Structure 1
Amino acid sequence: MKKKLLATSIAGIMSLSMFTPTTFAHDMLDGVGVEKGAQEADLNDIPKLEGSKNLSNWKEVAAEPLKKYDGVENNTADVYTYKGYAYLGTHTKNGGEGGVRIFDMKDPENPEEIAKFADDIPGTWQEKVIVKSVNTPEFKGELAVVSVQQLDRGNPDSKGGFLLYNVSDPHNPEKLGFWEMDKRVPGTHELYLTVQKGKPFVLAANPYADYFTHGESKDFALVDVSDPNQPKTIYEFDPRILPEVSEDFNGYHWNSPDGKTRPVFNHSAMTDNNGDTALLSFWDLGTIILDISDPYNVKYEGRTDFAPDVQGSAHSATLAKGGNVLIETREVYNPVKEGYEESYGYTRIFDIKDPTNPKELSTFKTDLVDNVEDGVTFANTVHDPKVRGNTLYLSHYAGGLFAVDITNPAKPTQIGQYQPEGAYFWGVDIDRNYILASDMDNGLKVLLKNNGK
């Protein structure tokens, strides 16, 4: 009976296209549907900011909505910036199929949408896009990888996985290949593209692959894309290799040593700058750390863990301090789950100089995470992290964008928040002296970090 209920709830995750982002956020996971709720707070464009750095002169310089195609309005997912262009994935509004939008950012205060691509697979949505320069015998140029997820696995024409495109000319993206998953799997949720010693690899997080295929596929895959026309899977991670997991994992639920049944699936994957370390956000199993310095001989190193009263929900990760510090964001959207602390998702910071033994240095909580009086809402949980230098940037749905000074990772200090009325931020990235943010309802937002005052 439990498996039947679980399958029903997971299937519901992929049917968000019938809801607008003003009603539902993107990750309805673990069978919990969450309404956003009204935002009635008195919101300021640029609040006063305090801290060791002065970011009080942030200024919104652009707010560019996505173009409509055939009268259809899509909404944004994540944002990625590369070599003067911004790439915005799209979510599920109005049936998905919004593809990836490319914005010319030569003048960041006047971004121009110049192309749309990766929209050719029916019944899918395209959350994540990463672009890197690649030079192999099979391909030379700018390579884009795009996650593809099915809205309805019952649609015979839909399929999940990731697409590969040549975006050397951003005005004219050219399709190269498709890494296609088993039809039973919703698809690739988040991914990352890394170039290691000249060879490109994709790290793909494929939630519930293990569950839906009964172990035939795994939730994480490392794929060699040296020839983008013929991507090759070279490694998959199986949580069962961990002694504490092996016999207590059924492909989704884990009977953890703390006596609780916890959800386990791979939500996100990324690497360090050299492509030597993989970080897998495995929800209540924590952040998995793999040594992929030899991609054909991957080694498990360690993982983060949670106290018995803390919901896991390891959602995304990034690195700081030359790869010695791990930032882990946790998307907890039900703050009153029985047996756990009353709190929305907050950020944890770890010392991983010894990756086999991550040591928690601190937590960073906004003023939103303990506000549980209004019931369940995505607005109060943290979402995606980015680091530039000693500043951590966090997207926080309706909570806006946060800037955190992590010069001392043991004492993170909030130094900025941007919370315009009606915003609902999915992702954030940095381009020169500008902060780029994907506002689900309002398109691409561009902030000037220092306007010269």
Structure 2
Amino acid sequence: MKCWGNVIVKRRNLLVTTTLAGALAFSSLMPSAFAHDALEGIGNKVGEAFTPEEIEEMQLGYTSEGSKNVRFLSEVASKQIEPINGSQKNMADVYAHKGFAYTGTHTAGGGNGGVRVFDLSNPSDPQEVAVFANEIPHTWQEKVIVKSVNTPHFRGDLAVVSVQQTSRNNANRPDSVGGVLLYDVSDPYNPERLGFYPLDRRVTGTHELYLTTQGNRPLLLTSNPYADYYTHGTERDFQIIDVSDPTNPEKIWEWDARDLEEVPENWNGYNWTDPNDRPRAVFNHSVITDNNGHYAYVSMWDLGTVIFDIRNPEEPVYLGRTSYEPHVKGAAHSAALAKGGNILIETREVANPVGEGFESAYGYTRIYDIKDKTNPVLLSQFTTDLTYDVPNPPVSTFAKTVHDPKVQGNTLYLSYYSGGVISVDITDPTNPVQIGQYTPERGNTWGVFVDRNYVLGSDMNSGLKVLLKNNAGGNGNTPTP
């Protein structure tokens, strides 16, 4: 093992892997570890939701003073989202398309904050120009993806929006249901609803999703955490939906870990105990594809990032997955690709830094060589000062873990909750080097997205951040060295 500052690199011949071989003993326990995004499980009864106050306490346990101008990143705009009916909502993920930013919303103020559209024609003064996808009662809209599509049924800019119930399967909320809303945003000032893909109400909903195209065929890929568990296999965690006709989405394939040969058919659909008697959880948290829509990368928590060949989306082929050393918590949260799809960036969202037999660390980033997609090889790990900043006694908090990755060229951008946005040089993926960091005051940065010469950050406390890369044409402020 070699170290460069806060970067740990494990060479190929030193890598120790674990598998889901038949030796695994599966547990009959109820789900024991959930992503915070699903609002269920940790410290609560199964099926109960965290309150917004509980979420805020976990995410804002640590704050920082903030720095608006740091090496290679400088703030040119900060814009809070508008209240709805006097209720201030909080921002979730961020996406950009054709000069407009689309931001999801989380659960503050009871949810139903919808997707916010910002006109970025003047990046130093983004203007919120529309709200959409907030019509289903008692839901929240975390993620939105926008693509231009051209099919016999629809031609224009299609937005897909994740919808999750704030209280799963609540008998007092019969009109609440999770799934995916589909909107025409060809005119971003006037989004028009096209369709809705609903899930069984026993499922919280669709958390993260992705929209890709194979030629002129648009495909929606969904992550529906615990769908397989809660519906006993009626719905699956990973689904592929043909949205050639956005008014009539058609599911064409679905999958869950029970479909792997090494998983016994009678397992409980959620968790197992590994060969070292440590609890492991499996659920689909996120999914992306390469630019051509040929391969899907599914973040299956402790199962790692699972890779599928989806060139025939009706019959995808399982290729391989990432894995972890026995002392490492899995928690594969989300992914990004680099180097023409030969490098996989995997962020691990670990809020609880303790556990018998596990390392004492919050979540960090792992970088894999996936030229052979049947055998991902760990090249390096990227940590920050937050990773091993574990107090005594330890505190469970999302504030110190990495969240989402995005890549442009040889630069990796990470959203890092209280750490803000961190930029990393991955020219040599065996030696990632931090080159910049932007941390807003009381930072709680959820998402990051690269748009032209700008980096967009979505902060749950203070809204949309527009950051200038490399201080090109900056605002006159001198970056710190």
- TM value normalised by structure 1: 0.92
SS at match of 1:240: helix
Corresponding residue for 1:273? 291
> How is 1:303-452 mapped onto 2 (pairs within 5 angstroms)?
303-373=321-391, 375-449=395-469, 450-452=471-473
Distance 1:17 1:111 in 2: 31
- Is residue 2:94 matched to residue 1:71? no
CA separation of 1:4/1:233 partners in 2, compared to 1, >3 Å: closer, same or farther? closer
Secondary structure at the counterpart of residue 125 of structure 2: coil
Separation in structure 1 between the aligned mates of residue 167 and residue 258 of structure 2, nearest angstrom: 29
Cross-structure match for 2:75? 60
Identity of aligned residues (%): 57
> Which of 221, 236, 244 is the matching residue for 1:203?
221
| Structure 1 match to 2:11 | none
Q: Is the 8 A contact 1:245 1:254 kept in 2?
A: no
Shift of 1:363: 0.5
What residue number does 1:37 align with? 61
Q: How many residues align?
A: 434
Contact 1:74/1:98 (8 A) holds in 2: yes
Q: Within 5 Å, give how 1:16-415 maps onto structure 2.
A: 16-19=50-53, 22-25=56-59, 36-39=60-63, 41-47=64-70, 49=71, 55=72, 58-153=73-168, 154=170, 155-247=173-265, 249-373=267-391, 375-415=395-435
Task: Indicate if the aligned counterparts of 2:308 and 2:317 stay in contact, CA closer than 8 A.
Answer: yes
CA distance in 1, matches of 2:212, 2:45: 31
Q: Deviation digits for residues 318-337 of structure 1, max 9, x if unmatched?
A: 10000000000000000012
- Measure, in 1, the Cα distance between the counterparts of 2:48 and 2:122: 37
Post-superposition Cα deviations, 1:30-60, rounded to whole Å, max 9, x if no partner, equal xxxxxx3243x5543334x4xxxxx2xx221
> What's the Cα RMSD here?
1.9
1:43/1:437 CA distance change after superposition, 3 Å: closer
Secondary structure at 2:399 match in 1? helix
Letter in 1 for 2:321: R
Q: State the 1:70 CA deviation.
A: 1.1
Identify the structure with bigger relative contact order (alpha carbons < 8 Å, sequence gap 6+).
2
Please report how far the alpha carbon of residue 253 of structure 1 lies from its aligned counterpart in structure 2 after TM superposition: 0.5
Post-superposition offset of 1:182 = 0.4
Per the alignment, in what secondary structure is the counterpart of residue 97 of structure 1?
A: coil
For the 8 Å contact 1:91–1:98, the answer to whether it is kept is yes
CA distance 1:212–1:21, shift in 2 (3 Å): closer
String of CA shifts for 1:281-336, please: whole Å, max 9, x gaps. 00000000000011122000000001111000000001000000000000000001
Distance 2:32 2:386 in 1: 32
Cα distance between partner residues in 2 of 1:402 and 1:61 = 16
The offset of 1:254, in angstroms, is: 2.3
Give the letter for the 2:462 counterpart.
N
Provide closer, same or farther for how the CA distance between residues 286 and 197 of structure 1 changes in structure 2, counting only shifts above 3 A: same
Q: How far does the alpha carbon of each residue in 1:390-449 deviate from its partner, in whole angstroms, 9 at most, with x for none? A: 000000001111100000111111001111221210000011111110010111011111
The answer on whether the counterparts of 2:228 and 2:269 sit within 8 Å (CA) in structure 1 is yes
Q: Secondary structure of the residue that 2:159 maps to in structure 1?
A: strand
Q: CA deviation at 1:97?
A: 0.3
Runs (5+) with no aligned partner, structure 2: 1-27, 34-39, 475-481
Task: Summarize the Cα distance change of 1:5–1:110 in structure 2 as closer, same or farther, 3 Å threshold.
Answer: closer
2: CA distance, partners of 1:203 / 1:142: 17
Q: Which moved more, 1:79-88 or 1:1-10?
A: 1-10
Q: How far off is 1:223 after superposition?
A: 0.5
In structure 2, how many angstroms separate the alpha carbons of the residues matched to 1:300 and 1:100?
Answer: 33
Q: Distance in 2 between matches of 1:141 and 1:14?
A: 40
- More off after superposition, 235-244 vs 387-396: 235-244
TM-superposed deviation, 1:376: 2.0
Aligned amino acid, residue 436 of structure 2: G
